[in-house]
Amino acid sequence: MAKQTFTTGQVLTAAQMTSLQQTAMLGGDASVKVASYTLVAADAGTTVAMNSASTTTITVNTGLFAAGDTVFIQNRGAGVCTVTAGTATVNTSASLALAQYEGGTLYFTSASAAIFFKADGAAAAGGGMTLISTTTLSGSSITLSSIDQTYKNLYLLIKKPLFSASGATLLFRINGDANTRYLQGTTTDAPTQTFTNTLYRPMDNGNNSVSDGNIQIFLPDYADTTTFQAINSIGLTTDRDNSAAIYRFIAWGMYNQNTAITSLVFLTNSGTFTSGTVLLYGVS
């Protein structure tokens, strides 16, 4: 039940009393959204639920709520929902990004400031993984942006990539950087390699008729801003020339910038992506 102003002598119905009780217990009917949403004054005292397979935001602005107002936010969908400060200030000791089935309470300390108390249970033990986003490969490129910076490492699983062109290569760039700042090789490469690549290649020789295999990419200490970014990858996909064989591509690399990884752009050197899924995990 949304926040209301009652008058002296007003009589509430049984349904209103039940709704008030549910609201007091952080229950009751939820306002379900399927796309990014900006909170309105009527959301005070209610539950706002996001249910989307894509990345979304819930924006908080000033002048809508009073000190003591609360809004309970939950994410039911597979896409990460991020509580975002619009014109208001939102503070938290946890992450403002909500993975599927996470939630929390937005508590307003004034009309222009709120604290978000994330209710996602105990912190994961070291090495625990949280699904940050799920993105379908399509077109000539896809971008994973605004990557949550609160984890220790990033792990990506690219499932069953399929290309429109035979022999296509899967490539990616860090923070959209297309300069010659990438080094890549295998464990048998000579130690004299230099940063001459404009992107990183976790697999090649892609099949354009069979969607199978997967690619794993590990980005350790990705939020660090004092060292170069290391990259490790293993690609196991259907071979271009033999659909009954697996093509292996094991590589390592480095991006020579002292900057946190905030976005990843995946693209192909030939044709487009026709299917496949990128799962992005944060490792605690």
Do 43 and 141 lie in one domain? The reply is no
Using the 3D structure, point to which of 118, 152, 184 is the last residue of a domain.
118
Residues 66/93, Cβ–Cβ less than 8 Å: no
CB 201 within 8 A of CB 169: yes
CATH number, domain of 52, equals 2.60.120
Domain carrying residue 22? 14-118
Looking at the structure, do residues 29 and 165 belong to the same domain, yes or no? no
Residue 231: per-residue pLDDT: 94
CA-CA distance, 166 to 21, in Å (whole number)?
A: 61
Is the residue at 28 inside a domain?
yes
Distance CA 52, CA 80 (A): 8
User: Could you list the pLDDT tens digit for every one of the 284 residues in the chain?
Assistant: 556 666 788 787 776 666 565 555 555 557 899 999 999 998 888 889 999 999 999 999 999 999 988 899 999 998 999 999 999 999 988 789 998 888 999 999 999 999 999 875 444 455 578 888 999 999 999 999 999 898 899 999 999 888 898 888 889 999 999 999 999 886 555 555 678 899 888 887 766 776 667 899 999 999 999 999 999 998 887 777 777 777 778 888 999 999 999 999 999 998 999 999 999 999 98
Contacts of 156 (CB under 8 A, 6+ apart): 215, 216, 217, 218, 219, 264, 278, 279, 280, 281
Residue 72: inside a domain: yes
Boundary of a domain, candidates 58, 86, 118: 118
Q: What CA–CA distance (Å, rounded) separates 123 from 247? A: 38
Between the CA atoms of 42, 48, 51 and 56, what dihedral angle is there, to the nearest 10 degrees?
80
